[in-house]
Structure 1
Amino acid sequence: MTTSPRTTSQQHDGESGSRSVPRWLLGVGPLALIALLIGLFTLLNAPGITGGEGRVPEEAVAIENIRFEPGRIILAVRNEGVDPVTVAQVNVSDFFAQFTQTTEQMAPLQPNTITVGYDWVPGDPYEITLITSAGGKVTAEVDAAPSPEKGAQFFGLMVLLGIYVGVIPIGLGMLWLPFVRRASRAWVRGLLAFTVGLLVYLTVDATLEGLELAAGSAAFGGSLVVLLGAVIAYLVLEGVEGLAVRRRRDRGDEVALPPQMFALLIATGIGLHNLGEGLAIGSAYAIGSLALGASLVIGFAIHNTTEGLAIVTPLARTRPRLGRLAILGLIAGAPAILGALVGASANQPTLASLLLGVGAGAVAQVAVKLLPLLRSDTGRVLTPVTVAGIIGGVLFMFVTGLLIVA
């Protein structure tokens, strides 16, 4: 089959015409057309785009903070939905109370301060319900009034709480390094498998906790923010690892990640998990819904100590400096302090859900990267030793998690 000269000439004219158009214009062109189309839909009040008639409003109000003052209860709330919201009534423990608010109608993402006149009794529990003009209800439970004042002493307590549940347990767990360094190769594989089991538990636990927090709010996609955070964290860590591998290849080093990099990845993943955990703890404490005490500290100490073991296990055949170990411990544990401070300042279920998802994705990425290190001399990943280690890590975290009363 022959091609006519005219057809060939037309093809060349088409190719030269497309090449004369700037590449950036070819990329921006479709985006501009989409923006133009959306603008036309909006101007024409197209049904489904601008809401139309008869659409049921989507109300998503979050109670970010509750503060008790003599004779009144002050609530910091925010509209996390896409529609304006008006708070019409406030119910405190089945009693409709008088209240004032800084704005009558909250626009999307707009904050509002509601002051409720109520003679509360110190130490008593309360259930506070906001009723919107559309009939929606938002409820917050306070185990014991009053909530602590937000002063220097309060935030100092949040710092101590983060140290108790994050920094100290992980530091204690890292003291297992001398034992790990003297372990045989089979024991090291078993400990690495134990680490994988620990990370698997943290992945599932953070995901379930994030989904539970997001279940009470449909704002920003509800439970989808947990999955979004997990996917973003996983992909970001993959990208960072890929960059590190490329740099090592450019320098002529081995492509495989060194033990120090594995330890850093584990510390980073655990740190992101502890950030979401600290945020949830601080949020609960800010509204008086966390039972602090010796049982909480002891539970977290036992539960999180194994995270320190997970960090030092890849370093079994190295001699890391004390300063490097301290940095790894702070990367893993210090985010709990930041999370507690942020959570105590503003109770944001959506943010807490997102960060728990980020922690889940980061920990999952590290668990996947550790699997090749479990290979035995025969090349098998799942051997009796590694299977027992993974199951042991999951069970240990589950059992010690039962000690945490919050």
Structure 2
Amino acid sequence: MIGAVLAGLGLVGARALPDRLGPPVEEVTVERTVFTPNTITVTVRNTGPDPVTIAQVFVNDSYVDITGGEDAIGRMNSATLELNYPWQEGQPYLVSMLTSTGLVIEHEIPAAVQTPKPDGAFFGLMALLGVYVGVIPVLLGMLVLPLARRAGGGVLRLLLAVTVGLLVFLVVDGTTEGLELGREGGGAFGGAELVVLGALLAFLTLTAVDRWLRARRARAEDAGASGLRLATMIAGGIGLHNLGEGLAIGSAYAIGELALGAFLILGFAIHNTTEGVAIVAPLVRERVRLLTLLGLGMLAGTPAILGAVVGASVNNAELAAMLLGVGVGAIAQVILQILPALRADGHDRADATAILGIIAGIVVMYLTGLLVTA
């Protein structure tokens, strides 16, 4: 009955309403700008309810010839405009699009930079960048495991508390980056909504998987997840975060907004080394093979390579925003897994040491994050 009523409303309801008065509602967002010699290629999408026709385009108040976009752009559809304009490297430009109804839609370009060609060398560079900022730092951070074991069992709760602090910062950082990328995408398919959707999907999916795995276990685990399983979940959550981070890095480089340099690489390396510490924190009391540790490090680090390559080729801010949201949801689920282990024996809540460890983890991630400048 519900389906029949909704179908009837869809078929008949619109015909019973009067025609809308007033001018058409025209909303256009710029999704991508590509600079090639003497040409600016702009990809636009109609995010409004009515078709939009781009009649003329001005660059810095100068009329330019257009190739493409002759037909009206329907709702949620996109068009590619090639602007014949002798742009100069590093100069700012203002692209003004005049629609057929006289509406002016502006897009500001802070600095013009020639878009890299996606050839083999370019993708190799992106893969190398993913290794630098993802794989190597995580593996370096995991080298603290022998030192943590020598320090005694009491260090475990402190390390886990620091891990929670690191992950809390990653949640905040990933959310902030995702919301920023969502705004850059123009909102055609959602901005903040994509970040929230990705986070909820990841959180609920990992929660369902964890409950399923717990149900299959023959014995109950009073202290929560085992060390290896918890370390695997941490590595997976960090890997999803690094996937979104690599996607953002590749997208920024593809449009000339990322300046590669030794300081940038070093900053990312120091910042992400703490992720390796977070992975090995639950393994202080367990003996793990070297290949297992290597697998955990690759699980957390290699997604940065994939993200950088995909981000440089696809260059979709909304996809990057959603993947960052997925990382946020995964890490939030991992935090809930670790929290029970922060309680001291015989206590129902975390003590001052655990709270100070959480604060220390947040501060460390914040201070190392200051080294990452683009």
Superposition TM-score, scaled by structure 2 size:
0.90
CA contact (8 A) 1:87 1:130 kept: no
CA–CA separation in structure 2 for the residues paired with 1:213 and 1:140: 16
CA–CA separation in structure 1 for the residues paired with 2:273 and 2:49: 43
CA–CA separation in structure 1 for the residues paired with 2:318 and 2:46: 12
Q: In the alignment, residue 126 of structure 1 is paired with which amino acid? A: P
Mean alpha-carbon deviation: is it higher for 386-395 or for 336-345? 336-345
1:259 alignment counterpart: 227
Unmatched 5+ stretches in structure 2: none
- Structure 1 residues 132 and 175, CA gap change in structure 2 (3 angstroms): farther
1:40 alignment counterpart: 12
1:117 equivalent in alignment to 2:102 = no
1:218 equivalent in alignment to 2:184 = no
2:53 alignment counterpart: 86
User: Percent sequence identity over matched residues?
Assistant: 48
Q: In the alignment, residue 309 of structure 2 is paired with which amino acid? A: L
- Structure 1 residues 294 and 344, CA gap change in structure 2 (3 angstroms): same
CA–CA separation in structure 1 for the residues paired with 2:21 and 2:12: 18
Alignment of 1:273-312 (within 5 A): 273-312=241-280
CA contact (8 A) 1:128 1:141 kept: yes
Give, in angstroms, the shift of residue 132 of structure 1: 5.0
- Structure 1 residues 65 and 336, CA gap change in structure 2 (3 angstroms): farther
CA–CA separation in structure 1 for the residues paired with 2:307 and 2:47: 21
Alignment of 1:342-361 (within 5 A): 342-361=310-329
Q: In the alignment, residue 13 of structure 2 is paired with which amino acid? A: F
Unmatched 5+ stretches in structure 1: 1-28
Equivalent in 305, 325, 343 of residue 293 of structure 2? 325
Equivalent in 95, 117, 129 of residue 95 of structure 2? 129
Give, in angstroms, the shift of residue 104 of structure 1: 2.9
2:41 alignment counterpart: 74
CA contact (8 A) 1:303 1:400 kept: yes
Q: In the alignment, residue 120 of structure 1 is paired with which amino acid? A: W
Superposition TM-score, scaled by structure 1 size:
0.83
Give, in angstroms, the shift of residue 94 of structure 1: 4.8
Alignment of 1:149-168 (within 5 A): 149-168=117-136
CA–CA separation in structure 2 for the residues paired with 1:340 and 1:79: 28
1:186 alignment counterpart: 154
CA contact (8 A) 2:237 2:331 kept: yes
CA–CA separation in structure 2 for the residues paired with 1:226 and 1:165: 23
SS for the counterpart of 1:146 is coil
Equivalent in 73, 83, 107 of residue 106 of structure 1? 73
CA–CA separation in structure 1 for the residues paired with 2:145 and 2:32: 42
Give, in angstroms, the shift of residue 92 of structure 1: 3.4
Q: In the alignment, residue 98 of structure 1 is paired with which amino acid? A: D
CA contact (8 A) 1:63 1:347 kept: no
- Structure 1 residues 215 and 389, CA gap change in structure 2 (3 angstroms): same
1:21 alignment counterpart: none
CA contact (8 A) 1:233 1:361 kept: yes
Give, in angstroms, the shift of residue 83 of structure 1: 4.4
Per-residue CA deviations over 1:8-27 (Å, capped at 9, x if unaligned) read xxxxxxxxxxxxxxxxxxxx
Q: In the alignment, residue 101 of structure 1 is paired with which amino acid? A: G
Give, in angstroms, the shift of residue 102 of structure 1: 5.3
Alignment of 1:1-80 (within 5 A): 29-42=1-14, 44=15, 46=17, 52-54=20-22, 57=25, 59-68=27-36, 70-79=37-46
Paired residues in the alignment total 370
CA–CA separation in structure 1 for the residues paired with 2:8 and 2:346: 61
CA–CA separation in structure 2 for the residues paired with 1:189 and 1:233: 26
CA–CA separation in structure 1 for the residues paired with 2:22 and 2:211: 51
Q: In the alignment, residue 230 of structure 1 is paired with which amino acid? A: A
Q: In the alignment, residue 117 of structure 1 is paired with which amino acid? A: N
1:385 equivalent in alignment to 2:353 = yes
